[in-house]
Amino acid sequence: MRSVERIKVKGSDTEVNLVFRLAEAYMAEDSTVSISIAGGGSGVGIAALLNGKTDVANSSRALTEKEMAMASRRGLHVVAHIFAADALVVVVNPATGVDSLTLEQLGRIYAGDILDWQEVGGRPGRISLYGRQSNSGTFVYFRERVVGRDFSPALKQMNGTAQIVESVMRDPYGIGYVGLGYVSKADGSIRQGIRLVRLKEDPTRPAASPLDEAALRSGHYPLVRPLYQFTNGYPEGKIKSFFQFEASPKGQQLILENGYLPPWPDMLAAYDTPSESFSKVETLNYYTERQ
């Protein structure tokens, strides 16, 4: 009987559906491997890796200083693999009457300083805030990149990204932040019942859409982040083969079809530099190696 190598992958809800589809395609080509995918949030995946409970941790954020210290105490060599990128998008119910915001306005909305849609050019009505739970990498990224302080106590924390989308669709005063892959269909269209908000970091420039590839590549659209897969030590065997499959033309086509972005080096270079903690983590990018 042919033996099957089993790989456990756990973590980011932003990545879970995408990595599931990539794993399905990879296993269709290699019947000697079985990859199980679970979500729960970036923090959950990283904790599982540090505790030896998973082979790969999906994460939409870098490791924290606390996580790095824990890895060091346990003698672990955490290696990061960048396999894709994500445009974080802000969605609103079309009834709000808002289609663009500055990053400052968005931060003040989520901090609770701006309470009514009328204050940002929308229809009168109290803003309903939706977001992720604190174990989510998206929660951490949005708080640090956009809010710059604690979220408003009025934030409704959802278990998963899909819940945010559904809640905003039902709530005429709703706003949420999600990965583009959760609202973009394979044909490039956007799910009905929500509106993507155009954003601008520089108030003097036009607001940019996350659907505009030129704006993404140039850094004009302000919310783009790399997506990581962490391992303890260098990936080897079937894990390395899976990572290489993700970077292959077939893998990258699946990434695009599911509403995510290839880890274009020029695009990622236009965004924030890695945190001090992440600079200590060795980073692999098989996509770059293929270019």
CATH number at residue 273: 3.40.190.10
Predicted pLDDT of residue 4: 86
Q: Report percent pLDDT > 90 for the chain.
A: 69
Nearest-angstrom CA–CA distance, 148 and 81 = 27
| Alpha-helix residue ranges (DSSP H) falling in 171-231 | 213-218
Predicted pLDDT of residue 276: 45
Q: Total structural domains in the chain?
A: 2
Residues 71 and 93 in one domain: no
Residues 26 and 63 in one domain: yes
Which structural domain range is residue 49 located in? 5-84+226-290
Predicted pLDDT of residue 281: 82
Q: Report percent pLDDT > 70 for the chain.
A: 94
Band (pLDDT 50/70/90 cuts) for residue 1 is low
Which range is most confident: 94-108, 203-217, 261-275?
Answer: 94-108
Predicted pLDDT of residue 290: 60
Predicted pLDDT of residue 11: 96
Residues 238 and 271 in one domain: yes
DSSP helix/strand/coil, 99: coil
End residue of a domain, out of 177, 201, 218: 218
Band (pLDDT 50/70/90 cuts) for residue 259 is confident
pLDDT digits (tens, 9 = 90+) for 37-83: 999 999 999 999 999 999 999 999 989 999 999 999 999 999 999 99
Predicted pLDDT of residue 113: 98
Residues 112 and 202 in one domain: yes
Mean pLDDT of the chain: 91
Predicted pLDDT of residue 272: 59
**41: which DSSP letter?**
-
Higher pLDDT, 216 or 269: 216
Give whole-number Cα distances, 60 to 14, 24, 57, 255, in Å: 7, 21, 10, 15
Residues 232 and 200 in one domain: no
End residue of a domain, out of 177, 196, 218: 218
Looking at residues 184-211, what average pLDDT do you find?
A: 85
Residues 29 and 121 in one domain: no
pLDDT of 160 above 50? yes
Residues 90 and 187 in one domain: yes
Looking at residues 11-22, what average pLDDT do you find?
A: 94
Looking at residues 71-99, what average pLDDT do you find?
A: 95
In angstroms, how far is the first alpha carbon of the chain from the final one?
Answer: 39
* Backbone CA torsion sign across 211, 216, 217, 218: positive
Residues 22 and 35 in one domain: yes
**Max intra-chain CA distance, the chain:** 67
Predicted pLDDT of residue 128: 98
pLDDT digits (tens, 9 = 90+) for 226-246: 999 999 999 999 999 999 999
Torsion of Cα atoms, 20 then 21 then 27 then 33, to 10°:
-10
- Tokens 């998963």 belong to which residue? 160
Residues 57 and 146 in one domain: no
Residues 186 and 67 in one domain: no
* Range with the poorest average pLDDT among 71-80, 149-158, 187-196: 187-196
Residues 230 and 136 in one domain: no
Give whole-number Cα distances, 261 to 26, 116, 217, 253, 264, in Å: 19, 34, 10, 9, 8
